[in-house]
Structure 1
Amino acid sequence: MNVVLDCIPCYIKQSINTLAQTEITEDKAREIIHQTLSLFPHLDPQGTPAENSTIILRKVNELLGIKDPFHKAKKESNDLALKLLPQLKERIRQSTDPLFITLKIAVAGNIIDMGILKEFDVEGTIEEAMVKDFARDDYASFEQKLKGAREILILGDNSGEIAFDRLLAEQLLESGIKVTYAVKDRPILNDATMEDAAYVGMTEQVRVISNGSGFLGTILKDCSEEFKQAYKKADLVISKGQANYESLEGLGKEDRRLYFLLRAKCEIVAKNLGVQLGEMVFCCS
């Protein structure tokens, strides 16, 4: 998915949301925004929104002198999600289709996106996800392919959300599927890293690997050999969130192992998916 003109305000919004995690003055924040604007003419117009956003955000972090501005917020979102797990596990236990419900819960967790949304209602979004259909729903084909699958790779997205992904990983394990979960190699926005995976107990359940990259999304050319091998070996791949969709959407047209699980949180992504803003998607391409 290539960038469009409307992506530019989002780069600025993500930068402002990053600055809001700190205690710098408004004058200093304004200065940092002005310094990042000089990068805009040099962004690749044929690149993906995830790639270009990362370039801007790295500059913001550099100017702040802070490696992970979202560190405190990520812990808070992890704690919030962990508190909800017992009741969600009970809901899964009572379901007639536990895997489908865990996919709904996992996509509801995708609302935890501090780069785009300043405020979000996780519990309300979960309840909404339970009663609403996927706007694009390829669950039937996924179920069919799952019968012959031995290994699944899940591409993680945000902190907090990763706790709900743990429920999905556990459900797949119960089906006899080997699960590998991939996180970012280093902090970018509130994306999940190995620290988050350990904090929510994901590392106790499945094999967790770094993708070797600090980009938003999954930029394969920037990923480690370990990740590339895991991607190649997987029978199915579940790609969580918008940035992963932005960076892998082109590949998904040919790779029928790849399923996108996300909530369309911007008009550009929604249009590309052919859905309405805010709708949930579980689709193969």
Structure 2
Amino acid sequence: MNVALDCIPCYIKQTINTLAQTEIHEEQAREIIYQTLSLLPHLDPQGIPAENSTFILRKVNELMGIEDPFHNAKQESNDLALKLLPQLKERIRQSLDPLFMSLQIAVAGNIIDMGILKDFDVEGSIREAIEKSFARDDYVVFQQRLKEARKILILGDNSGEIAFDRLLAEQLSELGVEVTYAVKDRPILNDATMEDAAYVGMTDQFRVISNGSGFLGTILKDCSEEFKQVYQKADLVISKGQANYESLEALGREDRRLYFLLRAKCEIVAKDLGVQLGEMVFCCS
């Protein structure tokens, strides 16, 4: 998925939201914004939004001298999600279709996006996900393919959300599928890293690997050989979140193993998916 003019305000918003996680003075914050604005003309106009955002955000972190400005916020979102897990597990247990319910809960967690949405209502998102379900829904086809699958790779997205992904991984594992979960190699926005995976218990139950990259989304050319091998050997791949969609949507047109699970949080992505802003999807490209 290529960038559009409307991506430019999003770069600025992500910068401001990143600065808001710190205690730097307003004058310094303003200077950082000015310096990052000078990078905009040098971004690839034919590139991927997630890739361009990463270049901007890396510069912001460099100018602040802070490797992970979202560290405390990520911890808080993980704690919030963990508190909700017992009742969500019970909801899944009582469901007529536990796997489908776990997909709904996993996509509800996709609301935790501090780069785009400064304020979010996780519990409200869960209610909405269960009531409204998916605007695009390829679950029936996924079920058929799952019958023949042995290995499945989940591409993680945000902290907090990763706890809900654990419930999805549990359901897939109960169906006899070997689950591998991929996280970012280093901090970028509030994306999940190995630290988050360990904190929410994902590493206790499943194989968790770094994708070897610090880019938003999954930029395969920047990923490690280990990750690429796991990706190639997977029978199915569940791609969580908007940045993963942005970076893998074109590949998904040919790679029918790829399923995208996300909430459309910007007009550009919503239009590309053929859904309304804020709607949730579980679909092939």
TM-score range, shorter chain: over 0.9
Partner of 1:252: 252
Moved over 6 A (4+): none
SS state of the match for residue 262, structure 2? strand
Confirm or deny: 8 A CA contact 2:104 2:133 kept in the other structure.
no
Rounded to whole Å, the distance in 1 between the matches of 2:4 and 2:129 is 29
Deviation of 1:133 after TM superposition, in Å, equals: 2.4
Cα distance in 1, alignment partners of residues 217 and 21 from structure 2: 21
Task: Tell me the secondary structure at the aligned position of residue 119 of structure 2.
Answer: coil
Return the offset for 1:26: 1.0
TM-score between the two structures when normalised by the length of structure 1: 1.00
How many Å apart are 1:38 and its aligned residue? 1.2
Q: How many residues are matched?
A: 285
Extract unaligned runs of 5+ from structure 1: none
SS in 2 for 1:254: coil
Aligned match of 2:111:
111
Say which SS state the counterpart of residue 275 (structure 1) adopts: coil
**Distance in 1 (alpha carbons) for counterparts of 2:193 and 2:131:** 31
User: Where does residue 203 of structure 2 map in the other structure?
Assistant: 203
2: CA distance, partners of 1:37 / 1:119 = 24
CA distance in 1, matches of 2:90, 2:51: 39
Q: Which residue of 1 aligns with 2:10?
A: 10
Give me the whole-angstrom Cα distance separating, in 1, the residues matched to 2:192 and 2:61.
Answer: 17
Partner of 2:221: 221
Query: Secondary structure in 1 aligned to 2:244?
Result: helix
Question: 1:125-167 CA deviation, whole Å, 9 max, x = no partner?
Answer: 1011111020000000000000000000000000000000000
| Partner secondary structure for residue 116 of structure 1 | coil
- So what's the TM-score if we normalise by structure 2? 1.00
2:160 counterpart letter in structure 1: G
Task: Measure the CA separation in 1 of the matches of 2:44 and 2:167.
Answer: 38
* Counterpart position of 1:43: 43
SS in 2 for 1:68: coil
SS of the equivalent of 1:281 reads strand
- Aligned-partner SS, 1:179: strand
CA RMSD of superposed structures (Å) = 0.4
d(CA) in 1 for partners of 2:2, 2:220: 15
Q: Percent identity?
A: 86
